[in-house]
Amino acid sequence: MSDYTTATTKQGSVWEDLLEVLWAPATVFDRSRSRGVGMYLLVLSGLFIVVLVATQGLLQPYMDANYDLQVIKMAEQGQKLPAEAVAQGRKFAGYFLLVTWAFTAVFSGLFGGITTWLGAKVAGAAIPVGRAVFIATLASVPRLVSLLATAVQGAVLDTSNVKSLFDASIGPARFVDAVSTSPAVVAVLASLDLFTLWNVLITAVGVSVLARVSRGTGWLASFIALGVTLLFTLVPAALA
pLDDT digit string, tens, across residues 165-222 = 999 999 999 999 998 888 888 889 999 999 999 999 999 999 999 999 999 999 999 9
Is the pLDDT reported for residue 152 higher than 80? yes
Please list, residue by residue across 14-40, b when 16 or more beta carbons sit within 10 angstroms of its beta carbon and e when fewer do: eeebbebbbebbbbbbbbbbeeebeeb
pLDDT bucket at 2, cuts 50 / 70 / 90: very low
pLDDT of residue 183: 84
pLDDT of residue 24: 97
pLDDT of residue 239: 59
Residues 32, 18: contact at Cβ < 8 Å?
no
pLDDT of residue 238: 60
Over residues 221-227, the mean pLDDT reads 97
To the nearest whole number, what is the mean pLDDT of the chain? Answer: 90
Over residues 103-131, the mean pLDDT reads 96
pLDDT of residue 236: 67
Higher-confidence residue: 10 or 33? 33
Is the pLDDT reported for residue 4 higher than 60? no
pLDDT digit string, tens, across residues 79-103 = 777 777 777 888 888 889 999 999 9
Is the pLDDT reported for residue 5 higher than 50? no
Q: Which long-range contacts (CB under 8 A, 24 or more apart) does 183-187 make?
A: 183/73, 183/237, 183/238, 183/240, 184/234, 184/237, 184/238, 186/237, 187/230, 187/233, 187/234, 187/237
